[in-house]
């Protein structure tokens, strides 16, 4: 299924409201991961990027990309949505970096173009992983790393559609989550733990770590209601995969 046109339409439509609501929190300080804005300094997922060639898949308004560019990485921010890229261009700091319109499942870069490909709820949440992961592996050089944060299957399986909140009850099957309808044909993607391992290993990547970001008690979720509010302190809401190309 080709979700590119519908996902592009959706993000063009919601970009302005999304940035208005979320940028103050996700752009507040550099290197914040996920729905709970957990600092990378606590998780140690990305490491030093000085002098590295870095691609962000689905950079949105570039909160991550501009931070890494300021640290001395040679960053490219890729996103499907021109509205999101316009927001990134507007927010660009003194460390300039190129913005490219494109899809994670069809990367417009040659093999061995990057030392680090990463995203935080970006291209690997919004493109079919069985297409996007091999593309990321292709554009990495040897020893290059693919690091990405996505929602956990726990989070999706406990999401109560009618109540619009994450609960302590299983609401849908774990097996076969696969695609999540986001309205008007837009689609996000969700794999089981086993399927992530298959897709990553199938693309020739080595899995170095699976970090389960755990917010402190009382940390609000910036995106979803959860019941109880400290849901993600008790169960893993996100999966932060750390891999490399041998
Ligand atoms: C939730 S945002 C993630 C960006 C940023 N980390 C943030 O938290 O705002 C998802 C981004 O993925 C982009 N996107 C959607 N489908 C995509 C695709 N197939 N390839 C690349 N980017 C895509 C959207 O335009 C959007 O900017």
Residue 243 is predicted with a pLDDT of 98
CB-CB contact of 226 with 235 (8 Å):
no
H-helix or E-strand spanning residue 121: none
Q: What is the pLDDT of residues 199-237, one digit of tens each?
A: 999 999 999 999 999 999 999 999 999 999 999 999 999
33, two tokens: 């991961």
Q: What is the pLDDT of residues 72-86, one digit of tens each?
A: 999 999 999 999 999
Residue 168 lies in a domain: no
Residue 192 lies in a domain: yes
Question: To test the ligand 1 pocket, which listed residue (40, 107, 122, 221) has its Cβ within 8 A of the most ligand atoms?
Answer: 122
Q: Tell me the C-alpha distance between 155 and 234, whole Å.
A: 11
Which structural domain range is residue 58 located in? Answer: 4-151+176-216+239-244
Residue 200 lies in a domain: yes
- Under the banding of pLDDT at 50, 70 and 90, the label for residue 1 is low
- Nearest ligand 1 atom to the CA of 83 is 25
Q: Average pLDDT over the chain, rounded to whole?
A: 97
- Nearest ligand 1 atom to the CA of 10 is 25
Residue 202 lies in a domain: yes
The residue with tokens 């173009």 is 113
Q: What is the pLDDT of residues 32-41, one digit of tens each?
A: 999 999 999 9
CB-CB contact of 186 with 7 (8 Å):
yes
215, two tokens: 């917010």
Residue 25 is predicted with a pLDDT of 97
* Count of the separate structural domains present in the chain: 1
Q: What is the mean pLDDT of residues 92-105?
A: 96
Q: How far is CA 197 from CA 129, 192, 202, in A?
A: 11, 9, 8
Q: Separation of 94 CA from ligand 1 center, angstroms?
A: 23
Residues paired with 103 in a beta bridge: 106
| Residue nearest atom 7 of ligand 1, based on CA coordinates | 60
Residue 226 lies in a domain: no
Residue 93 is predicted with a pLDDT of 86
Closest to 64 measured CA to CA, from 190, 54, 173, 44: 54
Residue 169 lies in a domain: no
- CATH at 20: 3.40.50.150
Q: What is the mean pLDDT of residues 45-69?
A: 98
Helix, strand, coil shares of the chain, percent, nearest 5, are 30, 30, 40
CB-defined site of ligand 1, < 6 Å: 4, 7, 11, 26, 57-58, 60, 64, 79-81, 84, 103-105, 120-123, 126-127
Residue 175 is predicted with a pLDDT of 96
Q: Tell me the C-alpha distance between 22 and 206, whole Å.
A: 33
Residue 97 is predicted with a pLDDT of 98
190 has a pLDDT exceeding 90: yes
């Amino acid at each position: 299924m080709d979700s590119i046109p519908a996902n592009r339409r959706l993000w063009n439509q919601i970009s302005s409201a999304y940035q208005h609501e979320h940028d103050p929190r996700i752009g507040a300080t550099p290197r914040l991961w996920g729905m709970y804005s957990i600092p990378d300094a606590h998780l140690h997922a990305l490491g030093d990027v000085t002098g590295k060639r870095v691609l962000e898949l689905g950079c949105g308004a570039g909160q991550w990309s501009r931070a890494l560019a300021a640290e001395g990485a040679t960053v490219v921010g890729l996103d499907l949505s021109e509205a999101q890229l316009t927001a990134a261009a507007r927010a660009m700091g003194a460390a300039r970096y190129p913005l490219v319109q494109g899809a994670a499942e069809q990367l417009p870069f040659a093999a061995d173009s990057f030392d680090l490909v990463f995203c935080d709820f970006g291209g690997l949440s919004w493109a079919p992983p069985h297409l996007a992961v091999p593309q990321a592996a292709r554009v990495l050089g040897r020893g290059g790393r693919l690091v990405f944060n996505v929602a956990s299957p726990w989070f999706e399986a406990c999401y109560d559609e009618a109540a619009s909140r994450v609960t302590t009850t299983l609401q849908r099957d774990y097996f076969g989550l696969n695609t999540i309808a986001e309205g008007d044909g837009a689609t996000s993607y969700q794999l089981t733990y086993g399927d992530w391992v298959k897709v990553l290993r199938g693309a020739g990547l080595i899995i170095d770590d699976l970090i389960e970001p755990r917010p402190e008690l009382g940390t609000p979720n910036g995106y979803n209601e959860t019941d109880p509010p400290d849901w993600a302190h008790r169960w893993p809401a996100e999966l932060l995969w750390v891999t490399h190309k041998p």
